[in-house]
Each structure stands twice: as structure tokens, then as C-alpha cells.
Amino acid sequence: MGASQLKLLSTLWAVGVVISVNSSWGWLHTLSDDWPLLVSLLIVLGALSFPDSTRVLRAAALSFVFLMLWYLPAVPNHRTVLALSGCALLVASCSPRNASRALWTLRWLAVVLYFFAFVAKLNSTYLFSGSSCASVFLREALQLHGIAPLSASDHTAASSAFSTAGVWSAISELVLIILLVIRKTRRLGVLLGIAFHILLATHYVKFFANFSGATFVLLLSWLDEPDCRRLVDRLRYWRGALLSIVVSLPIVGALAACGLISPSFYFILRYVFWSVYAWYLLYAAMRLCFTKSEDSVCPSALGIPLLSLIAIAVAFGISPYLGAKTRSGISMYSNLRVEPGYTNHLFLPESPDIFGMMRDSATVTAVHSQEESDKSALALGTYPFVTICSFLARMDEVRTKGPVEIEFLRHGQAARATRGGPLPADCPHWTWRKLLLFGPTGEGSENACIW
């Protein structure tokens, strides 16, 4: 990894972290619980302000990685990608001898990510159902942009497009892998990858820009040193504007959290900020396709010290099929349902449930809280018991304002428990709750579009 590659990728990584944090502005309501996130954000902003300082980059990467370990198991996929990318950049900044290995680690992380994302989408619900997450999000994005079908003929044509959205998104991820791996098509792969993720992020309420921003680091890692040098030279003139935009994001989020501006205005402004950044990257990548390529030698060995990062990514990707987790497992929004005794996947068998956690399930029948917003903190339905225990122990992504009491059935017996109170005596150990994260199970759970 050359100096320009490190500078470019560390800048993209820092911007990705800011976008990721800003995608969930609700954490500002519970700053007493999430203050480490604010500390990490400030350090990352420092890395963005001083791109030539490897010390600030190391501090930012370390703070973010430890923060993600703290938040386990409720770490969204985009933050998992950013944490692994941060580890690779940390190695590159600390050990120049391992810089090329860190670069290839980022590249292979991209391959692993797109491969498992493609594999997860090979299920009947995502590819052939009107309830496919791709169809649902495409329809919502069109409505948000005011271009939803109006006439009967338009509605028929749109329905056909919606039904094939899942197929095309899966094919796109497979094509990206091929384009990136072949040296002569890497620039084209990077260009199409950026365009693909801009398209995914058009749903500005769901704000999938958090995942797109994280993947930009992996995509642009496939560019050689001369190409990165060109991009760094162009970004130098826009660094002030980029820094202003990135700093504005959490400020606008804070204003929305304090009620000084409306959430809808915040969503639109956040999307405008993201679009300026993403479209400029697309423009810069497009210009690269029309410049002469320079030869750049880069060893292809991954290196033993960084194989652990690849192994972690592979473990996350394969975990849904082993029954280790069905959330935060590179199967996000894929409608994948893999359970003991059932799967909607086209080629893979049912989950072996290697830890036995999915078979031990419980059904949430009621949620009680004085705060109206807290009543939807946990949806009614069937979950692995470890998920209910994680909710009660506050080890999930849910942020509640007051006490929340749930009623659930387990092994035919009714029980009640309060979030933050004593856990049921037979809850799995803290270690299991820290590592495993499951979504709802049972009939219809494949229609839930969750990360």
C-alpha cells in the first residue's frame, strides 16, 4: 500500500464512519449510554482533519474497533465492515512492511462481502416474491422521489420491475466480484460498484448510505497507487468542502434530535450531503477510466497476520447457515430464512444449529411501557430465547426511554421480565449473548427486512 493509497482509503474510511454514526441519530437521545460513540466520532473527525498524521489514524481506528467490540452483538454489517477495514488500515499505518498485505486484505474483504451477500440472496423470497426486500425498498424509494407509478399501465410495468429487482441486485454483486478480480476491468468494477451503491442509497429514510459509504473503502482499495495519487490530488482541492459537509452531518443530527428541526428535513439534508460526496467519487472514478493505466507492482500474498481479518469476515458470512446468528451476518435485507428443519434458500440445506440456540425459542406475547415509543421496542413474535435475554440485558441496538416489561411463552409456560432488571435464571451465558444475534423465526419471518 503506497502513501496515496493509505491517505485515500483512510479518508474514505473516516467519512464512512461519520456517515455510519449519523445514520442512527437517535443515539443522541441516549447520550448517557452512547457517549463512547461520540468520543470515537470526534477522534475520527480528527483523522479526517489531519490526513497525513498516522498517529491520529491509529487512534481513530483503535477507538472505533474497541467501540464495536463493546457494542457486540448488535453491530450492523456496515460497522462490521468499517471495523475490519479499520484494522487493516491500522496495520498499514503501523507496519510499512505489511502495508501491501493490508491492501490485499481490504481487497479480499470486498470479495468475501459481495460473495456472501450474493449467496444469501439466492432464496425464493428474495428472487421470486413480491415481498422481496429489493422490491419493497425500490417501491418505497420511487415513492419518496415522487416517481411512483400512477396509471394502470405504469403500475403493471413497475410491478414487473419490482419483481426482478432482487434478481438484478444479486447478479450485480456477482458481476462486481468478477470485474474487480480481473486486473484489466478493475477500474470499471470500481466505477460500477460506486454507481451500484449510489442506487442502493436512494432510499433516504432507511439511509442505506451507511453501508454504501463503508463499501467505498473496499471498492477503491482495488485501485493502484498511481490512480489513488490522481484521486488524492483532486480531493486536495475539495478537502475543505468535504470536511465541512462531514462535520455538518452530526451537527444537523443533533439539531434533529433536540427537536430544533424536523426529522423529514434532516433526512433530506442528510441525503443531499451524502449525494454530493458519492456523486463526486463517481465522477472521479469515471475520469480514471479515460486515463492511461500505469503498471504498479503489488505482492499478492495476504500474509499470516492479516488472515485473521479474512477469517472473521468469512465467519460472519457463513454464520447464518450454521445457526450462529441470523443478524449482522452479511445476509442483510436478503429475506434469508434458515432454521432447524426449514430453509428458503435454493441450494443450501437447513441450519444445523451448531450451538442449539435456535431450537430454544420463546414467543413474545405483549410489551408494556409507559412510553408509547417503547412499546415497539420488541415486535411480537417468536425468537430464539437468547435474543429475548439480550433484549432484557440491554445488549441490543434498541434504545428505550423508560422501563419496558415483556410477556412471553417458553416451553408452554408464561413468564414476565423487565428490561434492565434481573434476567431469567436459565438465560444463556454472557459470552453467548455477546456473540450471537438472531432475528425473528417462524412462518413469515422471511418477509422482515432487517439487518
Domain spans, the chain: 3-308, 336-447
343 vs 351: CA distance, rounded Å: 8
User: Average model confidence (pLDDT) for the chain?
Assistant: 82
Q: Which of 70, 15, 24 is nearest to 47 (CA)?
A: 15
Residue 296 has pLDDT above 80, yes or no: no
Amino acid at 240: G
143 vs 137: CA distance, rounded Å: 10
Q: Which of 325, 316, 356, 315 is nearest to 436 (CA)?
A: 325
- Rounded average pLDDT over 110-118: 93
Task: Give, in degrees to the nearest 5, the angle at Cα 300 between 297 and 301.
Answer: 135
Residue 111 has pLDDT above 90, yes or no: yes
Residue 96, pLDDT score: 80
Residue 4 has pLDDT above 70, yes or no: yes
Confidence label for 26 from pLDDT (cuts 50, 70 and 90): low
Confidence label for 152 from pLDDT (cuts 50, 70 and 90): very low
Please state the pTM of the whole predicted model. Answer: 0.88
Confidence label for 9 from pLDDT (cuts 50, 70 and 90): very high
Residue 112, pLDDT score: 93
Confidence label for 76 from pLDDT (cuts 50, 70 and 90): confident
Percent of the chain scoring above 90 in pLDDT: 21
Q: Do residues 285 and 91 make contact, with C-beta atoms less than 8 angstroms apart?
A: no
- Mind listing the pLDDT tens digit for each residue in 216-273? 999 999 998 888 888 888 777 776 677 777 777 777 777 777 777 777 787 888 888 8
47 vs 40: CA distance, rounded Å: 11
Residue 200 has pLDDT above 60, yes or no: yes
Confidence label for 304 from pLDDT (cuts 50, 70 and 90): very low
Q: Which of 265, 290, 282 is nearest to 191 (CA)?
A: 282
Residue 293 has pLDDT above 80, yes or no: no
Confidence label for 30 from pLDDT (cuts 50, 70 and 90): low
Percent of the chain scoring above 70 in pLDDT: 90
129 vs 341: CA distance, rounded Å: 21
- Mind listing the pLDDT tens digit for each residue in 387-416? 899 989 888 877 777 888 999 999 889 999
180 vs 190: CA distance, rounded Å: 7
Residue 294, pLDDT score: 62
Residues in the chain, overall count: 451
Of 93-107, 289-303, 342-356, the range with the lowest mean pLDDT is: 289-303
- Mind listing the pLDDT tens digit for each residue in 344-380? 888 887 788 888 888 888 999 999 988 887 778 888 8
Residue 370 C-alpha cell reads as 409507559
Residue 302, pLDDT score: 47
Q: Do residues 320 and 351 make contact, with C-beta atoms less than 8 angstroms apart?
A: yes
- Rounded average pLDDT over 160-173: 80
Confidence label for 89 from pLDDT (cuts 50, 70 and 90): very high
- Rounded average pLDDT over 191-205: 88
Residue 172 has pLDDT above 60, yes or no: yes
Residue 429 has pLDDT above 80, yes or no: yes
Residue 242, pLDDT score: 72
Residue 343 has pLDDT above 90, yes or no: no
Residue 214, pLDDT score: 92
